Chains A and B, each alone.
Chain A
C-alpha cells in the first residue's frame, strides 16, 4: 500500500490515539512539575478596648485570583516527586538514621503512602498472575475433557466473572463475604468469632482482593488456553500414548511446549491488567488497608477541596515508569526478533 493511501486510512485512528493517549501522557508529565498554589495569607490587626491582637487569615480574594491567573499552579520541579506522599527521600533518610534495626526501617518506609501502595500493587501482581495462569490452564484442560455437546453452557458459566466490570464483580463478592453476607456469616460461625470481618484485618482484606483478582482474571486465561488446546496436534499425543507416556507426561512434554507462546501472551496481558488494580479496592471498600498506585491517583483526583493535579500526575508518571519496566523484556525481545527478521 502506498504511503499516501496508508496515511489517509490511518489518519483518523492515529489522530485519536495521539490526541487522547499521547498528549495526555505529555500533559501528565508537565502537570507533575507543578503544585497547587499555597493560600495567600494576610495579617489582620484587630483592636478592641483591651488591646490589639494580630491574627493570620487566608486572603480568599488574592488566593482565587492567583489560582485563576495560573491555573496550573506554581512550578515545583521534581519537588512533588520527592515529597512525603511520593518518593519521600527526606523521610527515608531520616528513618535510616533514626531507626535501630533494619526491620524497623522497612516498617517505617512501608508506612509511607507511595511505598505502601507500591507494595500492595506488586503483591497483587505477584500472587494473582501465576495463579490465574495455573487455574486457567487447569480449567481449560478439564473442560476440554468434557463431552463436546455440553461444553457451550459450561464455557458461558466459566467466562461470567470476566465479562462483568471489576466494580460489579467485586461488589457481588463483597456482599457475600461481608460480615452480613452468606459467606461472612458462616465464616464467623465456623471460626467461632463474632467479630471476624473483612474490614477488621489487613491480611484478610489483601487475601480477599487477591482471591477476587484470581476469580476475575482466570476466565481470560482459560479462554485463550482452551483455544490453544484445540490446535495441539494429535499425532504426537497418540504416539506418546502408544509409547506409554502417562497423562502428566503428555501434558508436560507435548501440550505445554506447544502452547508456550500463548502462556507468555496471557502472562503479559494479565500482568498489565493487574498492575492497574483499582476498582476492587472501591468495591470492597478496602481503602483503609489496601491502596494501589491507581487508587492513589484516583484519591488525589477526587479530593474535595482542591484537585491535586500535581500529586496525581507525579504518581501517574511513576506508574508509567513501572509499566515500562514490566514491558521492557517483551519490547526488547520483539525488537531483536524484528531485527533478525529483516
Chain B
C-alpha cells in the first residue's frame, strides 16, 4: 500500500525487511540446502559426526576426490531407473493436461452460459467433489479395477487424474469464462453460428490466458500426485513421486537415500522453472475464484 499520505517510520521499515528476509529464508533455504547436498555423498549430507561436513565435503573428497559429485544423479537415473519414472511422468502429465483442458473448457463454457438452476447445483456438486480426500476415492477404485483388470497401467491413472482434476478445472475456467462478455457469443449466434462454432472461433481465441492457467494447475496436479499414482500403478509404471518414495526404503529392504535426494532435486527443478516462467498465471489462477468471494 504505497499511499502518498502514508509515511512509514524507520523502525517499521526495518522490522518489515527483517520479517521478509526471515520468511524467505524459511521458505527457500530447505530447497537450496537439498540442492547443495545432492552433490555430496551420503556420509556428508547425512553426517553422523558433524553436520559441517555437508559444507566442507570431507567425505565426498575422500570418496570421490572432488568437492562435488554427481554420482547420486547418474546412479539414480540409470540404476535406479529414474529415467523410466520421469518418462512415465511426462506421459501422464501430457495426457492429463490435454484431456482435462478439453473436457474442462467445454463444460465450464456451458456452465457459464447457462441461466438455469442446475448449473448452480452442478457447481456446488463440483465443490463437494473437490473436497473428497483422494485416498477415499482410491479405496473405491482399487477393487473394481482389479476385477476389470485395468489396474496398474498408465491409461487408467490418466483417466482417474483427469476426473479428479475436473472439479477444480471447472471452477477455475468457469470464473474465467464469466469475464468474457456474453454479447460476444450472442452476436455470433445471431450471425448464424452454432454454439460450438461460437465457442470454437469466438470464445476460445480470447480465453488463452485462462486456458494456460487451468493447464498449469492440471499439470501441477498430475506431476505432483502421490496418492493415486502410488496405489494405481504397478512398480514398472511408477511416476516420479512414488519412485522417490520407493528409494526411501521400507522395513523389508534398505533404500538409497542419496538417490532420493537427487531424485527430489531432479523432479523439483523443472517445476520451479515452469512456475518462474508462468508465475503471473499461477497467481491469477489461485485468486480467480477467491477474490470475487
Listed in ascending order, the chain A residues whose CB lies under 8 Å from chain B are: 1, 3, 5-6, 9-10, 12-14, 16-17, 19-28, 31, 71-72, 138-139, 142-146, 148, 152, 154-161, 163-168, 171-173, 175-176, 178, 180-182, 185-186, 215, 219-220, 223-224, 226-229, 231-232, 234, 237-238, 241-242, 247, 261-262, 265-266, 272, 275-276, 278-279, 282, 285, 293-294, 297-298, 300-302, 307, 309, 312-313, 315-317, 319-320, 323, 326-327, 331, 334, 338
Q: List 23 A-B contacts (CB under 8 A).
A: A16-B166, A17-B129, A20-B137, A24-B141, A28-B137, A31-B140, A154-B20, A154-B24, A158-B27, A164-B31, A168-B267, A180-B51, A181-B51, A182-B54, A228-B291, A237-B3, A238-B3, A261-B293, A279-B227, A301-B231, A309-B142, A316-B136, A319-B133
Shortest C-beta distance, B222 to chain A (Å), equals 11
Contacting residues, chain A, for B253 (C-beta < 8 A): none
Contacting residues, chain B, for A301 (C-beta < 8 A): 135, 138-139, 142, 231
Shortest C-beta distance, A170 to chain B (Å), equals 10
Contacting residues, chain B, for A3 (C-beta < 8 A): 116
Which of these, A167, A232, A309, contacts B245 with CB under 8 Å?
A167
Shortest C-beta distance, A263 to chain B (Å), equals 10
Contact with A along B41-55 (1 / 0, CB 8 A): 000011110110010
Q: Are A227 and B144 in contact (CB under 8 A)?
A: no
Which of these, B114, B142, B164, contacts A307 with CB under 8 Å?
B142
Within 8 A of A (CB), among B105-148: 106-107, 109-111, 113-116, 119-120, 122, 124, 126-144, 146-147
Q: In whole angstroms, how far apart are the Cα atoms of A242 and B4 in the complex? A: 12
Q: Which stretch of B59-67, B73-81, B206-214, B278-286 is in the interface? A: B278-286
Q: In whole angstroms, how far apart are the Cα atoms of A52 and B196 in the complex? A: 82
Contacting residues, chain B, for A167 (C-beta < 8 A): 226, 241, 244-245
Q: Are B167 and A12 in contact (CB under 8 A)?
A: no
Within 8 A of A (CB), among B215-234: 220, 223-227, 231
Which of these, A25, A157, A226, contacts B28 with CB under 8 Å?
A157
Q: Are A309 and B275 in contact (CB under 8 A)?
A: no
- Given A20-B159, A182-B33, does the pair A223, B283 have CB atoms closer than 8 Å? yes
Shortest C-beta distance, B250 to chain A (Å), equals 10
Name the CB-closest residue of A to B194. Answer: A5
Contacting residues, chain A, for B12 (C-beta < 8 A): 247
Contacting residues, chain A, for B142 (C-beta < 8 A): 301, 307, 309
Q: Are B120 and A338 in contact (CB under 8 A)?
A: yes
Name the CB-closest residue of B to A183. Answer: B51
B264 within 8 A of A: yes
Q: Are B167 and A10 in contact (CB under 8 A)?
A: no
B271 within 8 A of A: yes
With A5-B195, A13-B166, A297-B136 given, name 16 new contacts (CB 8 A): A158-B27, A159-B275, A164-B271, A171-B244, A175-B34, A180-B46, A185-B47, A223-B286, A224-B286, A224-B291, A276-B135, A282-B245, A313-B139, A319-B136, A320-B132, A323-B133
Q: Are A175 and B261 in contact (CB under 8 A)?
A: yes
Q: In whole angstroms, how far apart are the Cα atoms of A247 and B5 in the complex? A: 12
Name the CB-closest residue of A to B37. Answer: A175
B152 within 8 A of A: no
- Given A164-B271, A172-B34, does the pair A241, B3 have CB atoms closer than 8 Å? yes
Q: Are B1 and A237 in contact (CB under 8 A)?
A: yes
Name the CB-closest residue of A to B226. Answer: A167
Contacting residues, chain A, for B183 (C-beta < 8 A): none
Q: Are A17 and B26 in contact (CB under 8 A)?
A: no
- Given A16-B103, A223-B287, A227-B287, does the pair A152, B135 have CB atoms closer than 8 Å? no
Q: Are B290 and A176 in contact (CB under 8 A)?
A: no
Contacting residues, chain A, for B122 (C-beta < 8 A): 10, 14
Q: Are B110 and A276 in contact (CB under 8 A)?
A: no
Contacting residues, chain A, for B83 (C-beta < 8 A): none
B154 within 8 A of A: no
Q: Are B111 and A142 in contact (CB under 8 A)?
A: no
Q: In whole angstroms, how far apart are the Cα atoms of A331 and B131 in the complex? A: 12
Q: Are A145 and B8 in contact (CB under 8 A)?
A: yes
Name the CB-closest residue of A to B146. Answer: A71
Q: In whole angstroms, how far apart are the Cα atoms of A182 and B29 in the complex? A: 11
Q: In whole angstroms, how far apart are the Cα atoms of A8 and B161 in the complex? A: 22
